[in-house]
Amino acid sequence: MAAKLENVRRDDNRVITTIRVPYADTDQMQHVYYANYLVYFEIARNEWMRAAGLTYRSFEEMGFFVPVAEAHLNYQGRVFYDDLIEISTTVSIIKHTRFQFSYEIRRVEEDKVLVQGHTVHAVTNAEGRTRRIPDVLVDLVASFENKNPS
């Protein structure tokens, strides 16, 4: 996957990540192969974390890992090669040990949601044992939701 990151911006409690769809991500009909949307979700997740002030790397260096426990996608339209798309990402805490990223994919400057989905993540230690969501992440989510965009 070689999607080119074009732009990242914050809008209220969302982070909007803009990427251009590379040919390698498409099938014979030149629309995005269905499983590649999960890769786009991962790109958006990383950019949400970065915009909130914490990278995955720094989170892991603190001893916390966030494996995907669940993934859901709802395809409502098609995305094609060379489309410039926006992935709108929000996060919410759903349990003491799990949180959820929610995503919507649209073409830039279009209102129609093409793909909608979410991923649920557990928090674990390096051995894979479930841990409570650390305060640093709880505080970031809370402050991110309560602040105006910077």
**Per residue in 45-64, pLDDT tens?**
999 999 888 888 999 999 99
The pLDDT tens digits for 85-113 are: 999 999 998 889 999 999 999 999 999 99
Residues whose CB falls within 8 Å of the CB of residue 94, separated by 6 or more in sequence, listed in order: 100, 120
Instruction: Please check whether residue 24 is in contact with residue 2, taking contact to mean a CB–CB distance below 8 angstroms.
Output: yes
| pLDDT at residue 149 greater than cutoff 50 | no
Q: How far is CA 36 from CA 53, 97, 104, 115, 125, in A?
A: 26, 27, 14, 12, 28
pLDDT number for residue 85: 98
Q: How far is CA 113 from CA 52, 77, 135, in A?
A: 24, 7, 33
Output the pTM of the full model. Answer: 0.90
Instruction: Please check whether residue 85 is in contact with residue 18, taking contact to mean a CB–CB distance below 8 angstroms.
Output: yes
- The whole-number average pLDDT for the span 73-82 is 96
pLDDT number for residue 4: 73
pLDDT number for residue 150: 45
